[in-house]
């Protein structure tokens, strides 16, 4: 079956009331904030259209805009590494850590670094990695992966967090009372714990929300100040960006920032909007001595120029996750992919075309279109899911489905064949009126629902 | 004017088809039913079996092409399939019929001169996703129905073969929708797409919720 693995993981999630409660509360809040905050804009639809136009132009003109960015990073004293794939990116970053004798890396939130499994690479080289975004820190302690693009620990409640923090304190040999399951106590624990990491870290690694080509700058949005710490305290700052994460000008950045935080969390602007241009200059009071920007391809250029190109317009706001009724019920881990929800269901099989489990994800949607409606740059995700199904389903769905659909289309391409089905279905429903079991799809229907009267 | 009842209405709820005709005739329209049509091809199209979708859609397009005037379709998702995807799926031969397709409530609601029922009498209206988001039909059914309880615009979880490929996820979505209906104190759920309604009704009956699930046409034809 072309959806077996997803189905099994979804089963686990659906039977976890605790998880579903946490997901519903969190997605309800995020989903409600977005439309409200977009109303602050004089003409939200026009801003979204402009944002979409900018993104499309960037993707169409990507090689030139990237060259301009690279040239300007170079001009302000940064170093750029273009990584064809995840392994190359990790090898480069591990190489820097080793050359600088780094023991501790403080990390800001970065989905691109998740995509390349950077933490595992650094840890294998003996480097301690501390995630400093609160959500990322929580799931690092839990030994899990992010379950949401912008809210990685969306599936955890404060009770879960209290347990994790208490266990962490014990493991570090701290004696004292357990961390209480209330938010201020948890903040206090995280703050003192992370402060240590910032001061110890030899290298700060972050993602990039937007690179700005005209000045070689990188823009980093965050709410906790940890991104600013990671980019100013350690001697070396390494920023990892997907190659499409770029705008050409500050004016374009302005438009994108207008929709990013609003779509993500319903904030007009995130609490911290950092724009960094090169490493520390002579008269700067702080900042890293070295800046490296890793530009990651990892399958992206292969998407350019195909019918799926629009997926590169994504600005990773997570709005599609918050409105997706499937995500809302099963959570991010059911997707078993770095990017979950509707964007993950489209992006994952494009980045991993040879992985049958990734190709399953296009099935994880009722094609309701809520993602498309919420997307600030109007990516037609539901259409792309259809296109992916058309690409993969006939091959991956197996012979039974292929033959089934073929028989169906043969019958229903004539009125006589249709009438025959009509009679058969009436007889079938009469005979099996009280049936709760049936083979195949009829059985799947009856497992939770009555047959039509 | 011609009515294309859709496969699901013919297969599991012929009464809805009859109600559509009665509702239209009661408002002075002369109704013919598209002879020889079967299905718009949506089940296979949404599942990714494009060739099979085309084979079935071609049959229905051919049958409807012999008629004239608006093609009234009492299903939001079928109307969206025909209107949005037939030109792409069938090429030139799909364009003519596609441009004539009108969803039932949009057809009647456009010039609605209907007595609005009072609000708060236990009727909730369910927006079907393709009707709402692809066709942008939101006001017309409400105008025709009068006062209704407002539910979220979240999908009910039918989604064609999605409902049987991932039945548990599909059912969780139905449950959330049904819980909303119950919480709103409603005992009747009305919609414009039999696929959603069949799914919600099947789930409501399994749960023993005692809900009456009806197509808008039945409400309009029979009060």
Query: Looking up tokens 């040999």, which residue turns up?
Result: A173
Please count the other Cβ atoms lying within 10 Å of the Cβ belonging to residue A18. 12
Tell me the C-alpha distance between A205 and A201, whole Å. 10
User: Closest by alpha carbon to B109, among B72, B84, B83, B80?
Assistant: B72
Let me know whether A333 and A185 are in one domain.
Answer: no
Let me know whether A249 and A111 are in one domain.
Answer: yes
Q: Is residue A262 part of a domain?
A: yes
Let me know whether A233 and A265 are in one domain.
Answer: yes
DSSP H/E element including A281: none
Tell me the C-alpha distance between A447 and B7, whole Å. 23
3-class DSSP state of A130: strand
pLDDT tens digits, A353-394: 999 999 999 999 999 999 999 999 999 999 999 999 999 988
Which phi and psi angles does A105 have, rounded to 5°? -115, 125
Tell me the C-alpha distance between A61 and B20, whole Å. 52
Let me know whether A341 and A271 are in one domain.
Answer: no
**How do beta strands A210-212 and A246-247 pair?**
parallel
Q: How big is the A-B interface in CB pairs under 8 Å?
A: 174
Pick the last residue of a domain from A377, A393, A409. A393
Which phi and psi angles does A30 have, rounded to 5°? -65, -40
State the pLDDT confidence band at A432, using cuts at 50, 70 and 90: confident
Residues of chain B contacting A390 with CB distance shorter than 8 Å: 48-50
CB-side exposure of A87: number of CA atoms within 13 Å? 0
Q: Do residues B166 and A11 lie in contact, with contact meaning Cβ atoms separated by under 8 Å?
A: no
pLDDT tens digits, B14-34: 999 999 999 999 989 999 998
Let me know whether A350 and A437 are in one domain.
Answer: no
pLDDT tens digits, A29-83: 988 899 999 999 999 999 999 999 999 999 999 999 999 999 999 999 999 999 9
Backbone region of residue A68 per phi and psi (left: phi > 0; alpha: psi in -120 to 50; beta: other values) = alpha
Our separate counts of H helices and E strands in chain A read 21, 10
Average pLDDT along chain A:
95
Counted residue by residue, chain A has a size of 453
Q: Is residue A451 part of a domain?
A: no
A-chain residue closest to B39, CA distance: A412
Residues of chain A contacting B180 with CB distance shorter than 8 Å: none
pLDDT of residue B121: 79
Tell me the C-alpha distance between A350 and A358, whole Å. 8
User: Is A425 close to B47, i.e. CB distance below 8 A?
Assistant: no
User: Closest by alpha carbon to B144, among B185, B120, B111, B121?
Assistant: B111
Q: What are the structure tokens assigned to A308, written together?
A: 């799926």
User: Is A452 close to B50, i.e. CB distance below 8 A?
Assistant: no
Pick the last residue of a domain from A376, A393, A410. A393
pLDDT tens digits, A245-268: 999 999 999 999 999 999 999 999
Tell me the C-alpha distance between B205 and A393, whole Å. 32
Percent of chain A with pLDDT over 90: 89
State the nearest Cα–Cα gap between A351 and chain B, in angstroms: 20
User: Is A394 close to B7, i.e. CB distance below 8 A?
Assistant: no
Which phi and psi angles does B208 have, rounded to 5°? 65, 40
Tell me the C-alpha distance between A190 and A208, whole Å. 23
State the nearest Cα–Cα gap between B198 and chain A, in angstroms: 6
State the nearest Cα–Cα gap between B194 and chain A, in angstroms: 11
**How do beta strands A290-296 and A236-242 pair?**
parallel
User: Is A418 close to B38, i.e. CB distance below 8 A?
Assistant: yes
Let me know whether A362 and A434 are in one domain.
Answer: no
Pick the last residue of a domain from A233, A266, A296. A296
Weakest mean pLDDT among A99-113, A122-136, A145-159: A145-159
Which phi and psi angles does B23 have, rounded to 5°? -65, -40
Question: Which residues constitute the domain of residue A281?
Answer: 40-296
Which of A14, A412, A447 comes nearest B39 by C-beta? A412
Question: What CATH number does the domain containing A183 carry?
Answer: 3.40.50.10420
DSSP one-letter string for chain B:
-EE---HHHHHH-HHHHHHHHHHHHHTT---EE-TT----SHHHHHHT-HHHHHHHHHHHHHHHHTS-S-EEES-HHHHHIIIIIHHHHHTHHHHHHHHHEEEHHHHHHTT---PPPPTTSSEEEEPPHIIIIIS---HHHHHHH-S-EE------S-TTTHHHHSHHHHHHHHHHHHHHHHHTT-SEEEES-HHHHHHHHHHHHHHT---EEEEHHHHHHH-
A-chain residue closest to B172, CA distance: A329
Q: Do residues A23 and A329 lie in contact, with contact meaning Cβ atoms separated by under 8 Å?
A: yes
Q: Is residue A306 part of a domain?
A: no
pLDDT of residue B55: 98
pLDDT of residue A109: 94
Let me know whether A373 and A323 are in one domain.
Answer: yes
3-class DSSP state of A76: coil
Return per-residue pLDDT of chain B as tens, 223 residues. Answer: 999 999 999 999 999 999 999 999 998 999 999 889 999 999 999 999 999 999 999 999 999 999 999 999 999 999 999 999 999 999 998 999 999 999 999 999 886 665 556 656 799 999 999 999 999 999 999 988 888 888 999 999 999 999 999 999 999 999 999 999 999 999 999 999 999 999 999 999 999 999 999 999 999 997 6
Which phi and psi angles does A130 have, rounded to 5°? -120, 120
pLDDT of residue A429: 83
Q: Is the pLDDT of residue A235 over 80?
A: yes
Q: Is residue A286 part of a domain?
A: yes
Residues of chain A contacting B159 with CB distance shorter than 8 Å: 365-368
Tell me the C-alpha distance between B175 and B168, whole Å. 10
User: Is A418 close to B39, i.e. CB distance below 8 A?
Assistant: yes
Q: Is residue A386 part of a domain?
A: yes
β-sheet with A236-242: strand ranges across: A79-83, A290-296, A236-242, A203-206, A104-107, A128-131
Let me know whether A194 and A101 are in one domain.
Answer: yes
Q: Do residues A209 and A221 lie in contact, with contact meaning Cβ atoms separated by under 8 Å?
A: yes
Q: Is residue A327 part of a domain?
A: yes
Percent of chain A with pLDDT over 70: 100
Average pLDDT over every residue of A222-237: 96
Q: Is the pLDDT of residue A343 over 90?
A: yes
State the pLDDT confidence band at A453, using cuts at 50, 70 and 90: confident
pLDDT tens digits, A280-289: 999 998 899 9
State the nearest Cα–Cα gap between B173 and chain A, in angstroms: 7
Q: Is the pLDDT of residue A175 over 90?
A: no
State the nearest Cα–Cα gap between B85 and chain A, in angstroms: 10
Tell me the C-alpha distance between A142 and A7, whole Å. 24
Q: What are the structure tokens assigned to A386, written together?
A: 């259809």
Let me know whether A181 and A282 are in one domain.
Answer: yes
Query: Domain total for chain A?
Result: 3
Q: Is residue A453 part of a domain?
A: no
Let me know whether A423 and A437 are in one domain.
Answer: yes
pLDDT of residue B91: 93
3-class DSSP state of A434: coil
Counted residue by residue, chain B has a size of 223
Let me know whether A143 and A16 are in one domain.
Answer: no
Q: What are the structure tokens assigned to A388, written together?
A: 């992916």
β-sheet with A246-247: strand ranges across: A246-247, A210-212, A217-222, A272-277
Let me know whether A193 and A47 are in one domain.
Answer: yes
């Amino acid at each position: 079956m072309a959806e077996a693995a997803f189905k099994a993981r979804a089963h686990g999630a659906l039977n976890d009331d605790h998880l579903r409660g946490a997901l519903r509360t969190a997605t309800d809040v995020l989903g409600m904030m977005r439309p409200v905050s977009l109303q602050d804009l004089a003409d939200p639809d026009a801003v979204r259209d402009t944002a979409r136009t900018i993104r499309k132009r960037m993707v169409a003109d990507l090689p030139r805009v990237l060259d301009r960015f690279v040239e300007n990073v170079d001009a302000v004293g940064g170093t750029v590494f273009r990584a064809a794939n995840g392994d190359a990116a990790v090898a480069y970053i591990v190489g820097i850590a080793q050359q600088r004798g780094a023991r501790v890396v403080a990390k800001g939130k970065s989905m691109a670094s998740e995509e390349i499994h950077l933490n595992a690479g650094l840890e294998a080289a003996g480097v301690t990695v501390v995630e400093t975004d609160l959500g990322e820190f929580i799931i690092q302690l839990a030994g899990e992966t992010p379950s949401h693009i912008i809210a990685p620990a969306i599936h955890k409640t404060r009770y879960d967090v209290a347990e994790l923090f208490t266990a962490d304190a014990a493991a570090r040999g701290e004696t004292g009372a357990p961390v209480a399951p209330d938010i201020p106590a948890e903040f206090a624990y995280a703050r003192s714990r992370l402060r240590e990491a910032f001061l110890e870290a030899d290298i700060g690694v972050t993602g990039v929300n937007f690179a700005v080509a005209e000045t070689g700058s990188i823009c980093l949005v965050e709410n906790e100040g940890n991104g600013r710490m990671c980019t100013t305290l350690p001697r070396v700052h390494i920023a990892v960006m997907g190659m499409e994460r770029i705008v050409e000008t500050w004016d374009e950045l302005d438009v994108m920032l207008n929709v990013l935080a609003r779509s993500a969390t319903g904030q007009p602007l995130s609490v911290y909007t950092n724009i960094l241009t090169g490493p520390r200059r002579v008269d700067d009071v702080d900042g890293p001595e070295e800046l490296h920007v890793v530009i990651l391809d990892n399958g992206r250029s292969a998407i350019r120029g195909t019918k799926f190109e629009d997926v590169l317009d994504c600005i990773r706001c997570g709005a599609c996750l918050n409105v997706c009724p499937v995500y809302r019920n099963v959570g991010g881990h059911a997707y078993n992919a770095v990017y979950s929800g509707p964007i993950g269901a489209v992006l994952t099989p494009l980045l991993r075309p040879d992985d049958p489990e990734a190709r399953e994800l296009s099935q994880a949607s009722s094609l309701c279109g809520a993602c498309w409606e919420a997307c600030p740059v109007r990516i037609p995700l539901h259409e792309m899911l259809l296109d992916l199904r058309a690409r993969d389903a006939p091959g991956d769905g197996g012979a039974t489905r292929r033959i089934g659909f073929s028989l169906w289309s043969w019958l229903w391409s004539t009125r006589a064949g249709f009438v025959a089905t009509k009679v058969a279905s009436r007889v079938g429903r009469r005979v099996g009126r009280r049936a709760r079991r049936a083979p195949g799809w009829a059985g799947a229907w009856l497992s939770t629902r009555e047959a039509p009267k | 004017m011609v009515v294309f009842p859709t496969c699901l209405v013919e297969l599991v709820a012929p009464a809805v088809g009859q109600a559509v005709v009665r509702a239209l005739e009661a408002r002075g329209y002369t109704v013919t039913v598209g002879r020889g049509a079967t299905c718009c091809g949506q089940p296979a199209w949404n599942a990714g079996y494009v060739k099979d979708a085309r084979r079935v859609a071609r049959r229905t397009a051919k049958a409807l092409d012999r008629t004239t005037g608006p093609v009234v379709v009492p299903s939001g998702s079928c109307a969206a399939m025909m209107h949005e995807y037939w030109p792409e799926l069938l090429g030139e031969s799909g364009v003519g019929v596609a441009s004539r397709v009108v969803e039932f409530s949009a057809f009647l609601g456009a010039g609605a001169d209907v007595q609005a029922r009072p609000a708060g009498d236990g009727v909730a209206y369910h927006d079907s996703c393709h009707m709402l988001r692809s066709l942008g039909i939101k006001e017309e059914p409400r105008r025709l129905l009068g006062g209704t309880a407002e539910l979220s615009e979240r999908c009910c979880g039918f989604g064609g073969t999605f409902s049987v490929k991932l039945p548990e996820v599909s059912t969780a979505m139905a449950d959330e929708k049904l819980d909303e209906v119950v919480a709103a104190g409603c005992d009747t759920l009305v919609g414009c797409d039999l696929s959603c309604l069949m799914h919600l009704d099947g789930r409501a009956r399994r749960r023993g919720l005692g809900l009456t699930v009806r197509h808008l046409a039945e409400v309009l034809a029979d009060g």
